[in-house]
Structures are given as C-alpha cells and as structure tokens.
A and B are shown apart, each in its own frame.
Chain A
Amino acid sequence: MSRSFLGMPAFPRAAAVSTRDPRLRANLAHATHTIRDKRARAVAELDDWAQLRAAGAAVKDRTLRHLDHYLEQLEESVAAAGGHVHWAADADEANRIVTRLVRETGEREVVKVKSMATQEIGLNEALAEAGIRAYETDLAELIVQLGDDLPSHILVPAIHRNRGEIRDIFRREMGKWGRPAPEGLSDSPTELAEAARLHLREKFLTAKVGISGANFMVAETGTLVVVESEGNGRMCLTLPETLISVVGIEKTVPTWQDLEVFLQLLPRSSTAERMNPYTTTWTGTTDGDGPRAFHLVLLDNGRTDTLADAVGRQALRCIRCSACLNVCPVYERAGGHAYGSPYPGPIGAILTPQLRGMAGPLEESLPYASSLCGACYEVCPVAIDIPEVLVHLRERVVEGGPVTRRGARVVLKPAKGHAAERAAMRAAAWAFDHPGVLRGGMRLAARTRRLHPRRLPGPGRAWSDTRALPTVPAESFRDWWRRTRGDAGGSERGGVK
C-alpha cells in the first residue's frame, strides 16, 4: 500500500541517485533557500533568541536526565484527566497496541495527522495488514501517500514534487481513495489545495478514529500539544470519537510554563512565523467537546538506547523544526530520501544511527553524510551540537566500542577493512567531492565554537591529513554562505510567513 524506509541503501548510493535528478535538486534548492531567509528574519525579531535557545536546551536536558520521573508524572496526569496510557518498547509493540485499539472501536478507517513517530514505526503498513485504512490528512502527506512515495523533508514532505506532478497524482489517484479530483483540475496551488480540502472533508466528517503524534507533552498537567498550519490537525483531534496519539518519550517537558519557551522557538525556527496558524492543546478528555476516548502510546523504539549515550543523547532534544535541513549543503544536494528514514538531514544523520543501534551499512554511513561545517548547530533552536555527535559516532564506527541496542549493551567491532568502513568512505568521499560541500568542510578549521574535534576519525582523518587545513578568519555560517553563494533565492518571495 505504501512504501517504507526499511532496507534503504547506504547514504552515498542513495545520494548519488538524487544528485543526478535535476528537478529534485532545483526544488530542494528553491525550498531550502526560501525557508532559510524567512527564518532568519523571524528569528531576528526576537532579541532574546539566544536566551530562549539556552532555556529550550536546558528544559530538554533536565527532562532527559530525569526522564523516568517525568514519564511517571506524565502518565499519572494523563490518567487523572481521563486518558489511557500505553507503553511501547519498540515499533512492533506500538503497532500492535494501536491496531488493537482501532479494532476495539469496530472501525476500518482512521484519519491521521502528520506524525513522524508513526512513519518511523511503519504504522500505516501495520494497519493495512490488519485491514484498516489510514488516511493521511496533511496536504504534503496526502501527496506522498497518493503518489505511493516517501517523504523527503520534515516540514514539507513533498518538497521533491512540483505542481504539475501533484496535479497528475491528484487526477489519477484521488478517486481510488475517495472523492475524485474536480474535473479540469489545473496545477495552481490554490486549486490543488481546494481539491485536497474537498477530498479530505469527506473523511473528516465521517471519521470515528483519529491518530496523531504530538509536539509536546506536559508532565505536570498531562497536556498534549499539536502545532500545525492547515487545520487538518484540529479536524483529527476534535471530530473523531476516539483519539490515539503515538508520541516518542522524549517529547516530554516538565511544566506548563515550559511551553512559553517552545511556543516561541518552534514556529519561528520551523515555518518562520511568529506563530503557526493553529495550535491545539488537550488534557485527557473533556465532556461533550472532542473525543470521548483518548489513548496515549508512549514510544521508546531506540530512544532509551540513544539516551544511554551521554554525548549522543542531546539528539533527543530535537523539536523537529527542520531548520538544520534547510542550511545543510549536503542535504541540499543529496535530498531527503538518501537518509533512509523519516528523519532526513543533519538531525537524521545523528538520530537514525542511534535509534537503530548503529546496526547496518546505512546507519554506519550516515555519520559521514556531513562536512562538519557547523551550520546546523548554529540554527538549532535547542542547540544540539550535531557536529560533536557526528564526530562521536564516526569514532564509534571506526574504532568500535559500546553501544546500546534494544536496552542491551553490545560492543561494536572496529570498522577497519570491513564493509562499514567502505560505506563510510564512500559517504565521506561523496560529501567531500561536491564543491559546495567541501567549502563548508574547510570551515571546520576556523570554527570558534567550543568543540574542536581533535581530528577527523576514519576517512575524514585521511582527508584532513593530506590537506593543510586552511586557517580562515572566523565568520558566521550565514556570512560565509552569503559571500560564497550570494543571496540566491527566496527573499523576494513574500509568500510563506
């Protein structure tokens, strides 16, 4: 019914394919540049951005360092408000729980709000096997689902499709899923959005079960928060009788007050808006308003393994804003699919290998899908030091050492001379072969951030040994970008706000 990311080839092979697709590259370049410029303006409006960023990082760190405490508190608050809490150690368990909950309602169809956690566990496929049809309702997810395709960007999952392709997909596929596309549908975004509105309205008005993720869960109050633009989230969270939310355990924040930090950081960093059009918060169930039954499925699926690594655990602070994708020279060239998971770009390069216990050629090559230019760290609203984690993971791949897999400690063998090293080599070679990427890599030597990797382990070391690392004056990534790339793209377009 739909494709999944499982069994994707290692990064360099997948990247090489996308790099040859000129349309994909043009779409990606246009999109990332447009969002990047707007984001810079939205962030510049707040003169305390640095303080908000530090607070956001600290709140997440506090939560992660005492996650057992906050999860138990969350469970208690949600239950006290009338919700049911379920725990899933892995994807299979989560899928079993959700399938059972849907079956208990007697329904065969569910409407879904965009959720990366449910993509990660392959929920739609699991439901399909059980004879349950899941309808994606986010416009981009709808495009991806109807096109039997995979998402390629956190925020704009259909970024790799242009309007003509979208029109063709709608004309061809909508009728198979429900209300067909209107006669004579053109490729204007307004008409395409209207077609999606009509198609999905049928689903919303009849849906009995909604499935969502959440951006935040507040431990002290049991409140869940969904931040969105289109209103499909409100539809799925409000109209069905049963709501099932599948949420990674790291989405917890301790207090209601903590939302004042994240509701400022997320919209500006993500869609470059002062505030996104719609945010819904709910605490358990409310009599007569919204779903009568609320189930929260707390998902581990590799998060505790990531938590076990004192350097790597900062990846769990991520609030999925996608800012790091839009500044990444490697992402811009490789495209989202090359990262082989719902988490593309720099965050995917550190999160996916950790969630999957560094097992497999894709996972071992991902830490090399970067030139370590540091732009991702500079824009990250929760200050995740992505280059630090990349270097740390490269060390694991090359030198071996302990990692946690499904809760158990295992010791990785050093990669010397085996397939992992070759995959890593190719990833590094790919990143360094691309001129724009290489320039980013050269900035490594001049970085003034607190982390200076002592050396680039593995293939990177070979690379740094044969070239004198240039000492260039410190400059911000943005300055560097402007100087080397010009102010190309986007700023004249006033559209996305």
Chain B
Amino acid sequence: MSGRDVVLARVRRALADVPRGEGPHDPPVPRDYRRVHGSRTVEETVELLAENLADYRAVVHRCAPAGLPALIARLLAARGARTVVVPAGLDPRWLSAAEVAARPDRATDTARDLAAVDSVLTGCALAVAETGTLVLDAGPDQGRRRITLVPDHHICVVRVPDQVVGSVPEALPRLAPERPLTWISGPSATSDIELDRVEGVHGPRTLEVVLMAADGEG
C-alpha cells in the first residue's frame, strides 16, 4: 500500500463514529462573529489604518496624486538611496522627480543582485485598517515577491480610500487565492531574545507607507 492509501485508510477507520449520513458541510460553523469591528466613516477607516501602521513602526506619509513624485523623491533622497527597484507595471510618473537609478524588476536578477539595491517602490493590492496590514498580490505594480523582501527599504503606495478595507473578513473576498500573497504589518521584528522587541531582522528594516488620496482629496 502506498503512504496515501495507508493514511486515508487510517483516517476512515478513525472516524468510524461519525454518522454515515453526516456530510463534509454538515456540522454547522457559527459565523456570528463580526465582519468589521465598530462602525466608521470612510475617513475614519483610513485614519485607523494610518494609526495602526504607525503603531507597528511603519512610517506613514500622505499626499495627493500630484504630490506623489515629489514626496517619493524626498523619501529616497533622505534615505540616501541611489538605486531603486520597481515592478514592471509601476506608473513611471511616481519616480519622475527622483534622482535615482530606477531598476526594473527582471527575471534574470538574482537575490544577490537585489541585495545590492537600496530601495524598492511598489503599490499594493489592499490595506486592512483594523490590523494595519498591507497585502501585496504580485500584481503589475507590485512585482515578484522577492523585490519587496531583499532590499532594506520599502516604500509602498496605498490608494485611499479605494484600496482600504476595514477588517480581515473584508479583505479575503477581495484577494485571489491563486496569486502569491504577502501580508505585511510593519517591518519585520523579533522578540526571541529575552522578549525584547528588535525591529527589522530579515525583511526590509524600514517600511514607509504613502497614503495617496484620490484626486480632489487630501
């Protein structure tokens, strides 16, 4: 017998007490938990996102679309970044004011190549206000997972309020399971040494989030 047959046969024997008529969907799952915690206006939801991002040590900035290139230029200059990796589908205007070498994400780049890059600039798939989370789904303005992992400085632009959801239950239906997802809540951290929190172990040690208001706002 294959390992598969052995395991499945053991499972079936182990479940001899489950009534024959009971189907896989039968035992009911009570879903009376909340879809979202508390009621908030759209503005309050964005505000909560900003608060929670900052609480987990992301640096939060705000701007209108017209101000984005200047803001990004300023953030990269302040960091002293000379090279920035960008996903193929990123709006080129975002980097138009920055004096850095933009380096498009290329499949031939090795992890070591990426380790030599100073910063990465991306959009996101959505952001979750209650938990202060950014979700990346490898879309055209986000690129392969490795580009937001290896460089030490990540700037992520969130279009508010369109890309902001209130809660985890509101986030999942908007995400495609077949895409590789990265949920990011603040820079990486460890508390493994006497429970002292240390920010930034392996991922980017600095996470900057730009909340970009739709035209006519912000």
| Interface of chain B, main secondary structure | loop
Q: How far is the CB of A40 from chain B (nearest CB, A)?
A: 16
Q: Using Cβ atoms and an 8 Å threshold, which residues of chain B touch A254?
A: 24
Given contacts A231-B203, A495-B196, contact A86 B14 (CB under 8 A): no
Q: How far is the CB of A51 from chain B (nearest CB, A)?
A: 4
Do residues B192 and A308 form an inter-chain contact, with CB atoms below 8 A? no
Q: Chain B, interface size: which category?
A: 35 or more
Map CB proximity to A onto B136-173 as digits: 1 under 8 Å, 0 otherwise. 00100000111001100000000000000000110111
Q: How far is the CB of B25 from chain A (nearest CB, A)?
A: 8
Do residues A259 and B172 form an inter-chain contact, with CB atoms below 8 A? yes
The residue of chain B having its C-beta at the shortest distance from the C-beta of A70 within the complex is: B24
Q: How distant is the Cα of A204 from the Cα of B191 in the complex, in angstroms?
A: 21
With most chain B CB atoms within 10 A of its CB, the pick from A66, A166, A206, A307 is A66
The residue of chain A having its C-beta at the shortest distance from the C-beta of B173 within the complex is: A257
Q: How distant is the Cα of A274 from the Cα of B133 in the complex, in angstroms?
A: 9
Among candidates A66, A163, A235, A281, residue contacting B24 with C-beta atoms closer than 8 Å? A66
Which of A119-127, A190-198, A431-439 is the interface stretch?
A190-198
Say whether B2 faces chain A, with CB atoms less than 8 Å apart.
yes
Q: How distant is the Cα of A175 from the Cα of B197 in the complex, in angstroms?
A: 26
Per the 8 Å Cβ criterion, residues 332-359 of A in contact with B are none
Say whether B181 faces chain A, with CB atoms less than 8 Å apart.
yes
Do residues B3 and A232 form an inter-chain contact, with CB atoms below 8 A? no
Q: Using Cβ atoms and an 8 Å threshold, which residues of chain B touch A495?
A: 191, 195-197
Per the 8 Å Cβ criterion, residues 1-56 of B in contact with A are 2-4, 6-15, 17-18, 22-34, 37, 52, 55-56
Say whether B132 faces chain A, with CB atoms less than 8 Å apart.
yes
Do residues A289 and B138 form an inter-chain contact, with CB atoms below 8 A? yes
Q: How many residues of A contact B (CB 8 A)?
A: 106
Q: How distant is the Cα of A93 from the Cα of B132 in the complex, in angstroms?
A: 42
Per the 8 Å Cβ criterion, residues 178-192 of B in contact with A are 178-192
Do residues A290 and B145 form an inter-chain contact, with CB atoms below 8 A? yes
Q: Using Cβ atoms and an 8 Å threshold, which residues of chain A touch B11?
A: 67-68, 71, 249, 304, 307
Do residues B195 and A31 form an inter-chain contact, with CB atoms below 8 A? yes
Q: How far is the CB of A238 from chain B (nearest CB, A)?
A: 5
Map CB proximity to B onto A290-310 as digits: 1 under 8 Å, 0 otherwise. 100000001010001101101
Q: How far is the CB of A132 from chain B (nearest CB, A)?
A: 21
Q: Using Cβ atoms and an 8 Å threshold, which residues of chain A touch B25?
A: 62
Say whether A273 faces chain B, with CB atoms less than 8 Å apart.
yes
What 5 A-B pairs have minimum CB-CB distances, sorted nearest first?
Answer: A231-B203, A231-B202, A304-B10, A308-B14, A275-B131
Known: A239-B111, A404-B14. 13 other contacts (CB 8 A): A45-B37, A51-B34, A68-B11, A81-B178, A190-B198, A200-B202, A221-B177, A235-B149, A238-B145, A277-B203, A278-B185, A280-B180, A290-B145
Which residues of A does B touch, CB under 8 Å? 27, 30-31, 34-35, 45-48, 51-52, 54-55, 58-59, 61-62, 65-72, 81, 86-89, 93, 97, 137-140, 143, 156-158, 162-163, 166, 189-190, 192-193, 196-197, 200-201, 204-206, 218, 221, 223, 229-232, 234-235, 238-239, 249, 254, 256-261, 263-264, 267, 271, 273-283, 286, 288-290, 298, 300, 304-305, 307-308, 310, 313, 404, 407, 493, 495-497
